[in-house]
Chains A and B, each alone.
Chain A
Amino acid sequence: MSLESVDPLSDAAVTGDALLASAACAVASSTRIRHVRHDLFADDDTRIDEDVRARFLAALQRIVSAVASELIAGAGRILAGGGDPELATALTEGHPPYAMLRDHGLLDDPALVGELLGRAALDAIDDRLPGRTADDADQPSLLARLADHGDRIVAQSARALMTAESRRRDAHASDTDPADLGAEAQHRLVWRIAAALRTRLDLTDPRRAAIVDAALGDAARRSLRAYDEGSRVESAAVRLAAALDPAQGELSVLAIEALDDRRLTLFVALLARGLHIAFDDARDLLIDRQGNRLWVALRAIDCSRADIARIGFVLSEADPRRDLDYLVDRIDGIAAIDPNQASAACTLLRADPEYREAIVRFDRSVQR
């Protein structure tokens, strides 16, 4: 299975209606990224971009390793303090937790994979964005200006986003990334790693098993108590977009400036805000190389022809596998789409993810 979409619009002289129809069909399948997770663990499958694959695996290993270190340290202290130093030592020895989880299929978690894969794809684009500085060299960049905003909430949110991005970069470099997932995925992962660590010890003696389970349980709960979903980059970007609460006409200006400023997470958050959809869904729109859904979504937030052309050009500069000529040939048709119709085409994106998943399943079964 591939991340690429099949292009339903092979005719370059496409009309706005055809684009709307295409986007309406495709919008329900925005969860498809979650269906390709199996390909990530297959050695011979290279359909996902190698760069994205490498980023995904590196991030996952980093998070697992950091959480495992935290649990080993926490449980080890409890065990050693309780008079069982040999159990604390034994906890540090054995197969690497990442390999144990992978081999037992415990990393095959849709929320975990969907989130990290989407983030890896976004980061791959973000790192290659060319950026564009203002004509006036003395004008600070977008986030620096917002950090001085008269609205205290906006200023604080802008500073929080810069700090969260710095923190993630630091964590990437130092391999300490213990709490950087959505809440649901983070909770499941912590308990799965605790279970994996448990298998490092011989627990045939029920008394030892009880001591170890209590220590690992305490360490996992401690790790989760320290976890703050709101400190993540994505959460910070969503908070800033909400604090800005841009009017329809301001949204595209801010989104383009975020792109020029190489703040792709903020771009996604603004898009999500404008469309009233979840951050992850907006991210899926952006990382879809085929792009039809993104162009319709941009019309839904009233982006002009020039805005869409700029966004399309910048994304293809950062991700050369995108077909820029596809957009060039269709830009007039896209620009002619009525924003209200475009917004209606995105309606399903606002529905409950489970509902959308169910619709996709029904559609597949009908096609069979």
Chain B
Amino acid sequence: MNAPHFSLPIATATIDAAGRLLRADPRIDDLNSQAGGSIGDRCAIPQLAEIARLADRLQIQLSRAIVVADGDEDVELWVRAERSDDGVLLEVTGWRGRDPWRQVGDGAGRERDHFRADADFLWETDAALRITMLSEEAGARFGFDAQALAGQPITRLFALAESGDGELPLLRAVSGQGRFDDQLAEIRGTGHQVTLSASPRTDAGGRFAGLTGAATRLENPVVAAPPSPPARDLTGLPERFTERLETALRRPLDRIIANADSIHAQSDGPLRQDYADYALDIANAGRHLLSLVEDLVDLEAIEQPDFRIEREAIDLADIARRAAGLLAVRAGQRDVTIDRPDFDAMLAATGEFRRVLQILVNLIGNAVRYAPAGSIVSVTIRPDDNRAMVTVSDVGKGIALEDQDRIFAKFGRVDPGEAGGSGLGLYIARRLARAMGGDLLVDSAAGQGARFTLTLPVG
């Protein structure tokens, strides 16, 4: 059985011909309740009601990907609907946080364009890993017969090599763990060594539908084991990679964001509202990418052995007010109030001004993100013996005790499926706090909000 490749169990529900939700597993019941519905009443999730109606009227099994609101986040679901004795049975899986940007159009086409930029040739397979697309021209260049290989297993073209951990990255991707870029292989019968990259595709029901991939010839073929990483490769990335990445991306991203914001603001004339909204999606996606690039640059910087931080006299109350001010607009959009230190409050400390601001923007930004609408995020300061402390607290969903170490880990996130963020912010923040002679601690319990406290030496 080709099951959906997402790990969460399938949730089911039944909707009758009148659109009433007859029964639902807890996850669907929760969504329906959030939308104001209840069991026995009309289904309050219009996307589910619609596919149930179509399955009922067309009398066939249907599959569709939908996006529904889950609190203040969007989740992407795969829904399969089929008539049963007492109504339409819905099977729902996926439950992925939606990316911060909207994906529009042909996903496989986008992947092909992405791969094509760097690769020597592209290939595609179906779910059974049979070749369904292979460049004839590449065949002429590399010495294989593309037409004869059409429909054959991918392993007929490539002899796959195991990675360092003894696994085949290609098989990892098939089992649902996403894209890979590191599959070493040899084109059979040609002696050409290549690196394979690919992304899995899914069908309308969320099931694995095949791979869209690329092959890139190795300039210096690997004879035995893959080359060991350079000595300074502390982040897993090539030397100065992030610096070059930032140089290459910052200006184009800035322009994309600025232009998309202009389009959204309709500064050059009126636009259809949905187009203007697309522009906002583009701008938000750009900001997300930029923040990711900035996090990576920070990560590389703080992990260098010669990383140094300035020690200067700072007013922690002033920096807390500034950080709160920077996030006031975002908080307003989410109907969250930031309670910041009074304007006459002062708290002398030692640290680097911009790094402390960076930490507090990160903490307050997280708090605003997780705080429920209508609630307050508090930013309070207090001296404590020889330390200055600033605490950011919210009344959001909190962090379970067992997750509290993980959030400070590199790429550590409580819910890996959750949209937004790079998973680097708190890791960087704690490293910076400790580099300044202080620390960053969390005090929280699931369902009871979170309190993050930054301590610094007194000034």
Contact = CB atoms under 8 A, between A and B. Distances in A.
Interface string B126-141: 1110111111110000
Contacts of A309: 58-60
Contact of A170 (B127, B137, B205): B137
Interface centre among A135, A140, A305 (most CB of B within 10 A): A140
A331 B134 contact: no
A128 interface: yes
Contact of A166 (B54, B109, B146): B146
A288 interface: no
Contact of A137 (B135, B146, B208): B208
A324 B57 CA distance: 11
A136 B2 contact: yes
B410 interface: no
Contact of A313 (B60, B131, B135, B150): B60
Contacts of B133: 162, 165-166, 169
A317 B204 contact: yes
Interface stretch (A14-22, A144-152, A265-273): A144-152
A162 B148 CA distance: 10
Interface in A157-190: 158-160, 162-163, 165-167, 169-170, 173
Contacts of B208: 133, 137
Contacts of A328: 54, 57-58
Given A128-B105, A134-B2, A173-B116, A141 B130 contact: yes
Nearest to B134: A166
Most buried by B among A148, A158, A159, A166: A166
A162 B150 contact: yes
A310 interface: yes
A335 to B, nearest CB: 10
A140 B126 contact: yes
Name A's interface SS: helix
Contact of A163 (B1, B62, B126, B147): B147
A115 to B, nearest CB: 22
A7 interface: no
Interface in A297-348: 305-306, 309-310, 312-313, 317, 324, 328, 331
Most buried by A among B64, B109, B116, B127: B127
A8 interface: no
**Contact residues of B: prevailing secondary structure:** mixed
Interface string B85-128: 00000000000000000000110010011001000001000111
A245 interface: no
Nearest to B133: A166
B63 interface: yes
A114 to B, nearest CB: 24
B1 A135 contact: yes
A266 to B, nearest CB: 12
A137 B176 CA distance: 13
A305 B59 contact: yes
Interface string B196-217: 0000010111011110000000
B47 interface: no
A222 interface: no
Contacts, number: 130
B2 A135 contact: yes
A38 interface: no
Interface residues of B, number: 43
Contacts of A310: 58, 60
A127 B106 CA distance: 6
A146 B151 contact: yes
Contact of B132 (A127, A134, A137, A162): A162
Contacts of B58: 309-310, 312-313, 328, 331
A280 to B, nearest CB: 24
The listed residue with most B CB atoms (<10 A of its CB), out of A159, A165, A331, is A159
A133 B209 contact: yes
Contacts of A143: 132, 150-151
B380 interface: no
Given A133-B203, A134-B2, A313-B58, A170 B128 contact: no
Task: Pick the most buried of B1, B57, B62, B150: most chain A CB atoms within 10 A of its CB.
Answer: B150
19 contacts: A128-B105, A130-B63, A131-B201, A131-B203, A132-B204, A133-B207, A137-B2, A139-B127, A140-B126, A141-B132, A147-B152, A163-B146, A167-B136, A169-B133, A170-B136, A173-B112, A312-B58, A324-B54, A331-B57
Given A134-B127, A135-B1, 11 more contacts: A132-B203, A133-B2, A133-B127, A138-B128, A141-B127, A144-B150, A170-B136, A173-B112, A173-B116, A309-B58, A328-B57
Interface of A: 127-128, 130-141, 143-148, 158-160, 162-163, 165-167, 169-170, 173, 261, 305-306, 309-310, 312-313, 317, 324, 328, 331
Going nearest first, the 10 A-B pairs with the smallest beta carbon separation are: A147-B151, A130-B204, A137-B2, A144-B130, A141-B126, A162-B150, A309-B58, A127-B106, A144-B151, A159-B150
